Structure 1
């Protein structure tokens, strides 16, 4: 899709405006008296619906100006990246919990995490677009990487949740920072550094941002090959990623109480990665003259939506079953026993 420079500029400006609005909604930066608040479940739900509606409206605009095929590529990319961004959000939750970040400062960490994710994915998109245009064999690499990632996810789930075993306060990046600068025992507001006894220290807030930045880098490495398997249009790759990340702070409040209820999310993501990986390998073979069938964008969108629907429904059913089992077990214990 041939996108003029002014459309790129307008899109980026629009994304910045939405991010500024997100900041204003949650943090109220103009008010010196009002603290950032934790959104209620109802508020978070409505704002999440708004951001999803915004992404859908943009996709309909793609449909109107560029046709159904490009719109299909955008929606397939958006659903995939949204699913991966939710997984990213789960890890953010674990990081914030591990570092015991006070609730009133979590908004700032999440905002920085989203901005870093956008920046890193922007760099990976630029590099990936050049690689795809210059070397079709890169699809072999991307496809194999996605399948490997899916296998790793499944293996980690069989062994036990990898996120639960990871100590984010003692990661390699955090240890390197600790070797260079002394770290304060507690938080100093939202400041990244503080002077104690005449010596400059870094605060745990900087440690949190380092951990979030490393996580963003890892997820960018996973997500960009996935979406290039659905579309090679740099503009669609960028906008699908951007709209998937917008509203993530609001979504955090919605998912904070549901972290244990989406038990099969990782399995669903693994299935999608395998599907896209196979799609990329078939495309690479086709580009190199091998007579193999290619997977169309319509089938891709259907499979991705189907897998995520099954994943969510199965997770909800499991959560309800576990709740009934727990209630039955606790209800059978007589008082005083």
Structure 2
């Protein structure tokens, strides 16, 4: 199992305590988290994960410490990629701003439980069938290629499809009741879309686990390290979402970095499989004398790739342009969504963000706007926003 029963007990206890603390002191009371709040708590969770890593290093030795940090960094980077999908889901389902915290937290808890099952099943299979290292390695290489080839497409139909499916199984409503999972409509107790959002986030994250679990097994086969590094990378993901919400569209080169990391780990797994080979049709069932990649080198490669891709994204003209366009569209849709928030302060913040990003449109190269149809859609969206703001000012006697 990779660690003593005491270490397992203390680690699981710490994780459960952090999740309960997060729920009772932050998520239970519906509110819109500020950037400051998100930054503080995101830093706290990262700090706890780092301190835990040092504890692993001290009590488990240098090799376990390096494996933990390599695994944690890889899983954290992959979890940031999850945030893009979370943003799409929350936008598609038109989840009210104040209710997004609960949807994210429960989705993440569901993901932790599912990934834990994946980890133990994967470890058991690898112990019985070492040839699975070939499968995991090739899968990661293919996944890296898929990341490079895929287009970023929005799926605006996800809300309608999921709601229609839910209505066939459980009586459901199209409307939210704050962050409640069930509400009363026409005298009947019905499910709100919030439940569907939680399931969608958890289910989507399970799909991501198909990439992340093989990736971390490529760095270490220590089940304790795999479990703790994966779980700590997910803890604090809710706070990180609200902290990076405005920057997600700007990380345009992140997928290339993730593809490089997954491809690198895939090659590392294949080399390890060759070294441990027992397949009769490869080298007569004998191990192949190949160079294995040390975990310390893996950690260095992961850090360098992440730093280069993030810095390149933040300073590139494409990153800056896509940030403006992405934020402008998102803030506009949130402003037009009546269920998103009725908080005057939040609406004023959205309006100021719209004006701020609208002023930057003149600095963007025309090639980043897309087709003529994309330009027309953006113009129509902004026209609706200005019409809505005019009605809002008239109704509230609010002036800019």
Please show how residues 60-75 of structure 1 align to structure 2 within 5 Å. 60-75=54-69
Q: Could you tell me how far 1:195 is from its partner in structure 2?
A: 4.6
Work out the number of aligned pairs and report it: 319
Aligned to 1:129: 123
Q: Could you tell me how far 1:168 is from its partner in structure 2?
A: 2.5
Aligned to 2:72: 78
Please show how residues 258-297 of structure 1 align to structure 2 within 5 Å. 258-288=247-277, 289-297=287-295
Aligned to 1:250: 239
Q: Could you tell me how far 1:26 is from its partner in structure 2?
A: 2.1
1:240 has 2:229 as partner:
yes
Gaps spanning 5+ residues in structure 2: where? 278-286, 325-358, 366-400
Aligned to 2:14: 14
- Inter-CA distance 67–183: structure 2 relative to 1 (3 Å threshold): same
For residues 111 and 200 of structure 2, what CA distance do their matches in structure 1 show?
Answer: 13
For residues 32 and 184 of structure 2, what CA distance do their matches in structure 1 show?
Answer: 30
| Cα pair 1:38 1:253 within 8 Å, conserved | no
Provide the TM-score with structure 2 as the length reference.
0.75
| Cα pair 1:47 1:250 within 8 Å, conserved | yes
| Cα pair 1:98 1:168 within 8 Å, conserved | yes
Bigger relative contact order (CA 8 A; separation at least 6): 1
Please show how residues 1-337 of structure 1 align to structure 2 within 5 Å. 2-27=2-27, 29=28, 35-156=29-150, 160-162=151-153, 164-165=154-155, 167-170=157-160, 176-197=165-186, 200-288=189-277, 289-318=287-316, 322=321, 326-328=361-363
- Inter-CA distance 329–228: structure 2 relative to 1 (3 Å threshold): closer
For residues 89 and 58 of structure 1, what CA distance do their matches in structure 2 show?
Answer: 24
- Inter-CA distance 329–108: structure 2 relative to 1 (3 Å threshold): closer
- Inter-CA distance 287–101: structure 2 relative to 1 (3 Å threshold): same
| Cα pair 1:147 1:277 within 8 Å, conserved | yes
User: SS of the counterpart of 2:290?
Assistant: coil
Aligned to 2:334: none
| Cα pair 1:151 1:270 within 8 Å, conserved | yes
Q: Deviations over 1:278-326 (max 9, x none)?
A: 0000000000101111111011001001110011001101256537995
For residues 262 and 62 of structure 1, what CA distance do their matches in structure 2 show?
Answer: 32
User: SS of the counterpart of 1:201?
Assistant: strand
Q: Could you tell me how far 1:266 is from its partner in structure 2?
A: 1.4
Q: CA RMSD in A?
A: 2.2
| Cα pair 2:67 2:220 within 8 Å, conserved | yes
For residues 292 and 166 of structure 1, what CA distance do their matches in structure 2 show?
Answer: 48
For residues 172 and 22 of structure 2, what CA distance do their matches in structure 1 show?
Answer: 31
For residues 75 and 160 of structure 2, what CA distance do their matches in structure 1 show?
Answer: 28
| Cα pair 1:192 1:204 within 8 Å, conserved | yes
Query: Which deviates more from structure 2 when the two are superposed, residues 176-185 or residues 271-280?
Result: 176-185
Aligned to 1:335: none
Aligned to 2:369: none
Q: Could you tell me how far 1:176 is from its partner in structure 2?
A: 3.6
Q: Could you tell me how far 1:231 is from its partner in structure 2?
A: 0.3
- Inter-CA distance 196–309: structure 2 relative to 1 (3 Å threshold): same
Provide the TM-score with structure 1 as the length reference.
0.88
Q: Could you tell me how far 1:199 is from its partner in structure 2?
A: 5.0
| Cα pair 2:140 2:263 within 8 Å, conserved | yes
Query: Which deviates more from structure 2 when the two are superposed, residues 175-184 or residues 272-281?
Result: 175-184
Q: Deviations over 1:225-282 (max 9, x none)?
A: 1100000000000000111011111111101111211111111111111000000000
Q: Deviations over 1:43-102 (max 9, x none)?
A: 322222222121111111111112111111100000000011111122112111111111
For residues 234 and 12 of structure 2, what CA distance do their matches in structure 1 show?
Answer: 13
User: SS of the counterpart of 1:187?
Assistant: coil
